[in-house]
Chains A and B, each alone.
Chain A
């Protein structure tokens, strides 16, 4: 007993020593729970989301903690688990976070299937969560309530925007090569009618399996047809395959899209100048002057992790935490008040203002980026572009 009193005395002394420095560390931390794919098929993609979480926590705590109504600040602490890339685990873990760990707030898991599996759980426990790394037209079918989706890279609007961008840049014919995985196929299903509507001819339309190890025969066919644009609806692994082999064959089309992959730091490390001119999917760029917070995030990320944030996943993750932070500052930790604040508020993010209409971000335009001199530049739509589209000049 005496020993405990002594220890308590020391702790109290330590606290008193810290308190005059003006931090609120004596306050209970705000606990934020999430599950993410640290192992399994999605694990390689998840750091682009978990890194921003870590950076956000560091910055918030350095600023004295997360602000609550009335100006009180409390430090934030993450409670996190590995969902092993399995949506069933995601559901179990979030139930555990809510009922056993009794976390104050939730952050999103990685991936569309996880978000979709989680929506009913959040509804059941009436626990609001701002989603981030999920993109599918399926999201539009989720009943509005306790989950919101930050991204505007949704395949239906992307299909229309891609066709408009091709048209605006004078592209008259395309070859479409699509990975068989859902996001690429969903995009393809909206892209083809949109191309037709814009009067753009589809010379090649082929799908390939995700475990493809060689695309030479496909690319020889594409090269033979000389389309103005090659639209490769890739995932990261086959983005490497596509780019390496397109480069080997010297594909001469001035417009080359690789859907997912090029915004990953490693992609540019693998291809250097050969990646210049590749168009990809994202609606944010660290190069934009329109959103001053964006450059600060970009620089802090590079400083902490030694690589650039993914213009898609890392950006939407950061946005989701900005939204959560601003909503909590306004409404506090009460779930109903928080839900109301997220559903009705307008938030200042690295990608400009965000306001939700139902489950969706109604403000951020769907965009495309292009690698120019090793940098990710927004080239579409014109309203938010950081650079003009430049035809690809060789490899």
Chain B
């Protein structure tokens, strides 16, 4: 039992799922933080990324690493379209902006239904899958499928990259300023609209890239997105809404809790553990578990 817990195998598994949780949640958190939009369609962007990877690979033999870029661009364009078409005017008018959080939930629900059904019409709902980079290597006694190792590398790299950008780049400072004190940021000259547009594009792009990673190991269907939406909300609420660094930490924490929690108890407790923590955090620290501990 102790051997199992200390084995690198569990750590690897936990880090792979944790990095994916963190990445999926990152996009949602960015969009919520700067625009106060509850993007219920977030998981459907993961689905779009997965289909991009599948079709590029199946029809054109384009490897998923290239699909990462294509999916990011495509989802960023979608983000731009959603922002320009739906939210720019709402966010500009104070009266509408106050209600935008609640309204966005319904709007994005509609977008989610449209995306799912468009995908079902375009590609049929039949599950899809492909094989790429599925060699298993063993390193230090830990067996790793290469595409899972790549998932860990890309997801963790992207999370760290975004965090570094927020910390060290001027635009990143502006973005954090918008998250923390929107009006004050405006007063000191941050171009709110530009930050919002860039953030929604980045948030959508990150979700699309997560979809490419997911597509390497899961079946792809038009309705695969919703569980990712749920996971992303759990992660950002546990971490702290709008707190980007805390969200990333919470994503990894969730991966660890899932894998080690199951190892210590039983698989049947998985949901109880995760949602138990979720509810406990909401009751005890509604501002999020890591809000003070981590500064972005």
Contacts and interface: CB of A to CB of B under 8 A. Distances in A.
Given A209-B270, A217-B4, A220-B10, A244 B125 contact: no
A58 to B, nearest CB: 16
Interface stretch (B90-98, B188-196, B254-262): B254-262
A40 B223 contact: yes
Contact of B13 (A180, A214, A269): A214
Contacts of A177: 267
Interface string A237-266: 100110011011110000000000000111
A240 B13 CA distance: 15
Interface string B251-280: 000010011101100111011000000000
Contacts of A267: 127, 129, 219
Contact of A220 (B9, B218, B222, B227): B9
Interface size class of B (residues with CB under 8 A): 35 or more
A247 B147 CA distance: 13
B103 interface: no
Contacts of B125: 38, 43-44, 46-47
B267 A207 contact: yes
A217 B262 contact: yes
Kindly state the interface size class of chain A when it binds its partner.
Answer: 35 or more
Given A44-B223, A47-B124, A212-B267, A244 B262 contact: no
Contact of A39 (B117, B124, B127, B144): B117
B222 A248 contact: no
Interface in B158-191: none
Interface string A207-249: 1110111111110110010000000000011001100110111
Contact of B267 (A40, A208, A237, A240): A208
A394 B42 CA distance: 38
A270 B258 contact: no
A257 to B, nearest CB: 17
B221 A244 contact: no
Interface string B3-35: 010010110111011000000000000000000
Given A208-B268, A244-B145, A237 B223 contact: no
Interface of A: 38-41, 43-44, 46-48, 51, 177, 180, 206-209, 211-218, 220-221, 224, 236-237, 240-241, 244-245, 247-250, 264-267, 269-272, 274, 307, 395
In the A-B complex, list the 10 residue pairs whose CB atoms are closest, starting with the nearest: A270-B129, A216-B13, A208-B267, A217-B263, A44-B221, A266-B129, A266-B127, A47-B126, A43-B125, A217-B262
